[in-house]
Amino acid sequence: MVGERGLTLLEVLVAIVVLGLVGLSYLELFHQSHRMVGDSREWSRAVGYAEEAMEGIKLSGVDGQPAAEDLPGGFRREISSRLWRPGLRAVEVTVLLPGGGRFDLERLLQVEPPLARSTSLTEEFTD
């Protein structure tokens, strides 16, 4: 059977190496996308923590919030405030991420006393 030709050992080895490289590149791509999803989830939590603090400051006033606090998941939130102009305060909420990142949220807020809640909702609607 002189005319029959099959794959040589060298051709089989080259095919295995090429398929291995293609497989490794797909695994690396999968690993990178998985890490990016985790990072974006972490950043989303940081943004949520910052917005939560800012809304709390809007409701209770600037002085009603602690200056720094530890949060679940290894996050840390720091709040600072300074007078910007009469009637306005510059409030900055900084959330430190467990991996070393940092998210800053800055807003100007009107300086007003917290809303008086002397009446209940039923009293307001019955008048």
2-56 pLDDT tens trace: 556 777 889 899 999 999 999 999 999 999 999 999 889 999 999 999 999 999 8
Which two tokens mark 124?
A: 């307001």
Say whether pLDDT at 121 is over 60: no
Which amino acid would we find at residue 36?
A: M
Confidence of residue 66 (pLDDT cuts 50, 70, 90): low
Q: 52 versus 119: which is more confidently predicted?
A: 52
| Residue appearing with tokens 């490289």 | 21
Q: Global pTM?
A: 0.64
> What is the predicted pLDDT for the residue at 6?
75
Pairing of strands 76-85, 68-70: antiparallel
Say whether pLDDT at 127 is over 80: no
Say how many residues make up the chain.
Answer: 127
